[in-house]
């Protein structure tokens, strides 16, 4: 299929061939659905694809990438393309009412009016209800592009009204190639960041840009090393990990607890709940990141100990890994990696983070 090789229409995002093909076909045949649901993990190009689809729907030339319409969409300033993102923790009913009020207005500058919902898991009961009515029969020129990291967290009544497009984790080779092209990184570091990002292109790019993120990864690897050597006291290591996660949580909630003047009590309580939710999510995200690094460390130890160093993830630590494998008392790396993986899955539930971490670190110390 050569639909994406023309200079108009949907061009596609690196590493998302299936999604790109489906969208290109819909756009070139002018048979775009009134609502798309993009489902896929963070950092797989959903937002970039949504912008490109919006450009293809709005632009007179089907998404040329050069005209005023296409450029405005790229910069997020197009009057016919609305972005609906959570305010605090939720998409509110006021936001949806505003969409409804403008629903029947003809597009001001283009062929279509597009609303991009950046997180379909953030509706609350009230806003979901209002949005369902919006989705039912919008005018023909209105299109919705709705995004979600996980399909099972989206209301089935929303899912059933959309055409679903799945976004897969991006392949490490595709990520590495992109990093080398766009950042000043060596091939080794590009491969390393690609491998440790688990198919999340956005995260891989952040590794190239964010020194603080790289420092945290280094700290997590050092914890892996200490455990491999049978050193490190579980309680202290858990406390160290929690402190980093706590800081991430505080940064996420920063300034949101204190309501601006004139807020009602209910409004203030809502803001506090939002801040709490955001902080918890940020804490869990940071711990997940820590556990992902630990897991990759133990998997690498297993791989090096079994004499196949060419498939290690943390390529920049190849020498250290080999040294550790020579010196350490050959712990059960497979069980260690599995234990970390199990703990990561539990983070998704409502658990006591401190207890869960302590249990994991005790278990790791036992198998090393
Ligand atoms: Zn254009």
* Residues 181, 183: Cα–Cα separation, whole Å: 6
pLDDT value, residue 263: 64
- State pTM to two decimals: 0.79
Whether residue 219 sits in one domain with residue 134? no
Separation of CA 58 and ligand 1 centre (Å): 8
Residue that is last in its domain, among 139, 166, 193? 166
Separation of CA 67 and ligand 1 centre (Å): 4
The number of distinct structural domains making up the chain is 2
Tokens for 293?
């690094």
For 216-253, the pLDDT digits (tens) are 999 999 999 999 988 889 999 999 999 999 998 888 88
Residue that is last in its domain, among 138, 166, 194? 166
Separation of CA 65 and ligand 1 centre (Å): 5
- Determine the average pLDDT of the residues in 333-344: 95
Separation of CA 73 and ligand 1 centre (Å): 9
Answer yes or no: is pLDDT of 4 > 50. Answer: no
Q: Provide the residue range defining the domain that includes 363.
A: 210-367
Residue that is last in its domain, among 166, 194, 218? 166
Separation of CA 16 and ligand 1 centre (Å): 22
Separation of CA 112 and ligand 1 centre (Å): 13
Whether residue 139 sits in one domain with residue 65? yes
Whether residue 147 sits in one domain with residue 228? no
Answer yes or no: is pLDDT of 56 > 70. Answer: yes
- Determine the average pLDDT of the residues in 347-368: 89
Separation of CA 61 and ligand 1 centre (Å): 6
Answer yes or no: is pLDDT of 188 > 90. Answer: yes
Residue 193's contacts (CB-CB under 8 Å, 6 or more residues apart) are 175, 176, 179, 185, 204, 207, 208
Q: Which of 7-16, 269-278, 303-312, 321-330 has the lowest mean pLDDT?
A: 7-16
């Amino acid at each position: 299929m050569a639909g994406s090789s023309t200079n108009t229409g949907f061009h596609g995002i690196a590493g998302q061939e299936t999604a790109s093909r489906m969208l290109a076909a819909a756009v070139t045949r002018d048979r775009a659905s009134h609502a798309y649901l993009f489902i896929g993990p963070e950092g797989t190009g959903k937002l970039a694809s949504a912008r490109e689809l919006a450009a293809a729907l709005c632009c007179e030339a089907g998404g040329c990438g050069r005209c005023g319409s296409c450029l405005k969409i790229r910069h997020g300033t197009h009057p016919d393309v609305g972005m609906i993102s959570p305010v605090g923790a939720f998409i509110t009913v006021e936001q949806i009412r505003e969409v409804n009020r403008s629903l029947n207005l003809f597009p001001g500058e283009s062929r279509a009016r597009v609303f991009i919902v950046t997180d379909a898991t953030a509706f609350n009961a009230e806003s979901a209800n209002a949005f369902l009515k919006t989705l039912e029969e919008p005018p023909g020129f209105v299109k919705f592009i709705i995004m979600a990291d996980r399909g099972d967290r989206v209301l089935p009544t929303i899912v059933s009204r959309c055409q679903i497009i799945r976004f897969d984790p991006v392949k490490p080779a595709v990520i590495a190639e992109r990093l080398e092209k766009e950042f000043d990184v060596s091939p080794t570091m590009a491969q390393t960041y690609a491998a440790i990002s688990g198919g999340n292109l956005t995260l891989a790019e952040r590794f190239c840009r964010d020194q603080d993120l790289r420092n945290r990864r280094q700290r997590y690897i050092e914890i892996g090393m200490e455990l491999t050597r049978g050193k490190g006291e579980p309680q202290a290591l858990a406390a160290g990990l929690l402190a980093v996660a706590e800081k991430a949580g505080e940064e996420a909630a920063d300034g949101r607890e204190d309501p601006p003047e004139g807020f009602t009590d209910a409004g203030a309580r809502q803001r506090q709940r939002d801040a709490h939710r955001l902080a918890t999510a940020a804490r869990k995200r940071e711990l997940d990141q820590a556990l992902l690094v630990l897991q990759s460390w133990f998997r690498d130890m297993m791989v090096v100990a079994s004499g196949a160093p060419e498939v290690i993830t943390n390529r920049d630590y190849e020498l250290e890994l080999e040294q550790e494998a020579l010196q350490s008392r050959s712990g059960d790396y497979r069980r260690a990696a599995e234990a970390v993986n199990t703990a990561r899955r539990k983070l998704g539930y409502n658990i006591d983070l401190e207890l869960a971490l302590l249990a994991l670190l005790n278990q790791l110390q036992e198998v090393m």
